[in-house]
Amino acid sequence: MTFPKTRFLCHRLVWLAAFFLGTAAQAAEAPAQSETPPPQLVVFLVVDGLPQRQITGYQDQFLPDGFNRFLLRGAAFDNAHYGHGYTVTAAGHAVMLTGAYPSRTGIIGNEWRDPSSGKSIYCTEDAAHTYIGHKTVAMSGTSPKNLRAESVGDVLRRVSPSSKVIAISAKDRGAILPAGHAGTAYMYMAEKGTFASSTYYMPSHPQWVEDFNTTRPADAYFKRVWSPLLPEAAYQRSVPDSQPWYRKDGNADRLPAVMGNGSDAPGQRFYSTLIASPFMDEITLNFARAALQGESLGQSATRTDILSISLSSHDYVNHAFGAESRISHDHMLHLDRYLQAFFSDLDQRIGKDKYLAVLTADHGFSPTPEWAKTQGQDAGRLNPSQVLGHVNAGLSARFGEARWTRGYSTAGILFDPAVIAAKGVAPAAVDDEARAILLQVHGVSEVFTREQLASSAATDNPLLAAMRRTWHPDLSASIHVVLKPGWMLGSALMGTTHGSPHAYDTHVPILFYGPHWLGAGHVESRVEVADIAPTLSQILRLPAPAQSEGKPLPLPRLSTATLSK
């Protein structure tokens, strides 16, 4: 893999700044060196939108060496959470390998509005770069420019320039953010059903990428049938197909489902809807296999490489049908089988004692409100436009008629600074009045103002603590809203989402496997996803990323038998 000189020089400026600011302070914290050399490869797996409850809920149906490789023979952190409050894909992917919360990374959401202009900003947009071989529309994800923190991979490549960091995902943000500033990201292009990088990383693809894409990998799944893996009785713990609240805008809302049904040939619609199926996971892992071979990852005894693979399909499935659905349940079983096959290939290609595997998720999922109601829970949907209208009406009644709000920005509501100035009202007074208005809305739990979010004063309110980690003073809206458990913003009466500081959204798996570097067992103490980065840094004998706020995980100790090998 080669890097353009201009890109390399830009990276060096970023790295050197972080190096001189952070490395000296971290030197005293560097872990003691063990006699065991670092792994030749770190395989970092992310299952997009996977709540911990699905790991524990289906474990008895997993194969021996998929998820159970971690659960039975690795280190499983059963009480792992995100520490920030707006739990979405980009924010989570930015935390994992930086160890820093959105308040430091600047990745406060998938997209947000500039507080001054109201302009929409996409988390990985960069107009200076384009996709290689594909059209690039406005706000496409093409670089990590907006990421204000360094990653484990950035530190690794600064210390060991020959090391390679490759990140792959069906989502651009799922690849770009784990790749950091110094890695290389490849993402799925729904336009053609292939993978591509951007000109931020290279002027043209290496031959192995071209060879993979020439096979038209997605086309092999046209008219493929997604059928349940187990007999009907095995799905009694999940919600049956074809519920009224299931979304019907992609693949069918019941299994079996035919990929590309209604189309005569593969095309963009088929390539797009394929993402919401287990077959996209298989394609992504196949591309990862090609990267392993094409880049010779993990083949050197003198360096460590990182391969990050974010599997996006589960997020789309859960958005459409809910994590409690039979469709999501079956998707987990397919993914388990794909992981077992992938681990088998890694064992043969890299060697079982030469790589470390880690698995986590970027966020969990809220139960679908309509299903939650059938379980006797208080749940519902708030119409976003109606909530904004309510706030505008209340502010107009208090301060004068105007359109006070510009819209939502991540977990907050953005006010128009020009209106506030024209009315001669103090911004803090608008925040306080809007807070009082919103707290009267059924379904709203808490509303935090800029004064509360910007404060460093100690708090015993866990929701405020979480939202402070989400809030960025230069990027975020001045008030942030937290809904009650079971409630979500949404005008449609189908599907579900995530993005809250409640446990169903923050509680995700953290799983490690690598008998050469850590023991096996379940850890019950609470840990956070931000702890992964300093843990990997310790295993790789690196300083933690400069902005990291996590602490090394309490890994199970190696057994005497393992140490003697």
Is-contact 387 441, C-beta < 8 A?
Answer: yes
Instruction: At 222, give phi and psi (nearest 5°).
Output: -65, 125
Q: What is the DSSP string of 52-111?
A: HHHHHHSGGGS-TTTHHHHHHHSEEETTEE-SSSS--HHHHHHHHTT---HHHHS--SSE
Give the pLDDT confidence of 345-364 residue by residue, as tens digits.
999 999 999 999 999 999 99
Give the pLDDT confidence of 237-253 residue by residue, as tens digits.
999 999 999 998 888 99
Is-contact 403 368, C-beta < 8 A?
Answer: no
Give the pLDDT confidence of 243-298 residue by residue, as tens digits.
999 998 888 999 999 999 999 999 999 999 999 999 999 999 999 999 999 999 99
Contacts of 132 (CB under 8 A, 6+ apart): 196, 197, 198, 199, 202, 203, 204, 205
Residue 491 pLDDT grade (very low, low, confident, very high; cuts 50, 70, 90): confident
Please give the pLDDT value at position 118: 94
Please give the pLDDT value at position 446: 98
pLDDT above 90 for 8 = no
Please give the pLDDT value at position 384: 96
Instruction: Give CA–CA dist 154/104, Å, rounded.
Output: 16
pLDDT above 90 for 558 = no
Give the pLDDT confidence of 300-340 residue by residue, as tens digits.
999 999 999 999 999 999 999 999 999 999 999 999 999 99
Element (H, E) at 189: strand 184-189
Please give the pLDDT value at position 254: 97
Kindly tell me the number of DSSP H helices and DSSP E strands found in the chain: 21, 21
Which of 497, 482, 408 lies closest to 445 in space, CA to CA? 482
Which of 116, 119, 113 lies closest to 420 in space, CA to CA? 116
Instruction: At 465, give phi and psi (nearest 5°).
Output: -60, -45
pLDDT above 70 for 461 = yes
Residue 9 pLDDT grade (very low, low, confident, very high; cuts 50, 70, 90): very low
Q: Which single residue is written with the structure tokens 């599997």?
A: 311
Section 526-531 average pLDDT:
98
Residue 564 pLDDT grade (very low, low, confident, very high; cuts 50, 70, 90): very low
* Burial of 465: CB neighbours in 10 Å, binned 0-12, 13-18, 19+: middle
Domains of the chain: 5-364+507-553 (3.40.720.10), 380-489 (3.30.1360.150)
- Using the CB atoms, write b or e for 443-455: b if 16+ within 10 Å: bbebbbbbebbee
Residue 6 pLDDT grade (very low, low, confident, very high; cuts 50, 70, 90): very low
CA–centroid distance for 4 within its chain? 28
Task: Name the amino acid, one letter, at 450.
Answer: R
Give the pLDDT confidence of 384-405 residue by residue, as tens digits.
999 999 999 999 999 999 999 9
pLDDT above 80 for 533 = yes
Please give the pLDDT value at position 34: 53
Residue 137 pLDDT grade (very low, low, confident, very high; cuts 50, 70, 90): very high
pLDDT above 70 for 22 = no
Please give the pLDDT value at position 492: 87
Query: In the sheet where 412-415 sits, what is the strand order?
Result: 405-409, 412-415, 479-483, 444-448
Give the pLDDT confidence of 473-490 residue by residue, as tens digits.
999 999 999 999 999 999
Asked which of 129-143, 243-257, 267-281, 551-565 is least confident by mean pLDDT, the reply is: 551-565
Please give the pLDDT value at position 559: 62
More confident position, 24 or 204: 204
Section 180-189 average pLDDT:
98
Give the pLDDT confidence of 421-458 residue by residue, as tens digits.
999 999 999 999 999 999 999 999 999 999 999 999 99
Section 495-504 average pLDDT:
98
Please give the pLDDT value at position 19: 36
Query: What's 292's DSSP letter?
Result: H
Section 542-562 average pLDDT:
87
Helix locations, 295-426, DSSP H = 313-321, 326-349, 369-374, 384-399, 417-423
Residue 23 pLDDT grade (very low, low, confident, very high; cuts 50, 70, 90): very low
3-state class of 487 per DSSP? strand
Report, in this order, helix, strand and coil percent for the chain, each rounded to 5.
40, 15, 45
3-state class of 477 per DSSP? coil
Q: What is the mean pLDDT of the chain?
A: 93
Q: Which single residue is written with the structure tokens 């979010």?
A: 453
Is-contact 175 198, C-beta < 8 A?
Answer: no
